[in-house]
Structure 1
């Protein structure tokens, strides 16, 4: 009896080992690929809607902080006096540099804007955080939608897994397939996913880098030119003071200071209006660039993942049974 059972078991095992894999037609694989592409498109749409809402909130906060902190600081009389002193120092230490006051003052104003506005807003939200959240949302939608595609078309689990492993998701070393991306919980566990986010974060001209932004650079240039003119007038007043004597010269200097303060008060509204106009142009340009740039924008991670996945679907697939 025992011998009969052993023989029957061996025959059953032999039969299982020799069973051929289920044959999936080429048209079924094409439909599977179309469904994966549709899932990627849907995930991209969801990620974009999230990024758009978050970026609108970020821009609102930037406007509020600019109006409350940067513009009053920039247009105040004492800030202008301090900037005048910096222009004098820049010119004294210029050596052979061309337009030293304009260039260095522009950098100083950008640093102040970064500190007074962008860093303050970043305590609640910033484009870097939006980029990471949008990328993660794209992956979560894929993890929810893709696993059910194979069973829906009658594809065995092992064959569907092999298909997912053949689709690249991240090309940065060490690389990751769509299968690995779907299995990662959270996706940050994947070294390739971490490398992708790090590359986006460190791309030159990333979020918050206004070093080449034309709006604030124009503000800095116009301001520095006006300050140089003010310094020239102050230099003439000092020369007159020296000629008429200490007491009279002190009166002239004080008179010039009072006149300058009154004139600045009259010009302050125009200064703030021009500053606000220039910064609005800069805001709009930066916002559009952060929304559409595939290299440094808030959807850069989504662009990379969806581009690789959907591009990989264009390669015909044929199941290879394991040896």
Structure 2
């Protein structure tokens, strides 16, 4: 067994980030952070709710741009209306994947619907590799069938797990799955040993390879293991999201809703958005103005990558 396989699980704790003005909905951001920028090509993870929308106002994100990434929306409860500059008009519902590709440029809005009483889910980003960074905008919707194992229910929304492969294409080797564990159940999953993995705990007390994780924490596993064992120590069901992927060897520059490779990439994307160029298109049907870009920092935005592993 190699040193890689015996590395302990790293526990990443989130920070609270308010979104959306005076009645801000608070999200728990686990990626990126100083300890880890990426897990595979997964570069951003916001975990939110359960939010009583009568108190928080729910989600109302006006049209805004993206470059160099894919957005992955996955809900546990509630409903979000999605509109984008492709002309897509779709709804994000629990157990259904909405994946939007903003390569060279796309814009979209996200609004929780009047039917929503409790909003709860994750918003994830995937960095596009250099060769596909300027790919055309795209939108996919997929409803993965649940797979029932002894003590677990699994929905594979990207990549392959437990003999199921999502039909949604990815630009790098990726895995994304919701795993619900029965009370005091344990499951051992065969995984790609070339992947690094992250297990985000939504609810319950879960052990990943015998390392305890509390709600909102993410356990990181280096490449090497051929199996991952998840154990629910709770008296009720535990819900988790498993992310994985081949290590992403490229440095990225992240600022606001843009991913590039240099400070100049970000400056150009911001300029194109502020000038309403055709790069991002227009979102039809949103009852309000689009979001202006923030002011750029005075210093040059530096590329980031994962810390060097010793």
TM-score bin, normalised by smaller chain: under 0.3
More helix by share: 1
Larger RCO (CA within 8 A; separation ≥ 6) = 1
Query: Which is higher, the Rg of structure 1 or of structure 2?
Result: 1
When normalised by structure 1's length, the TM-score is 0.18
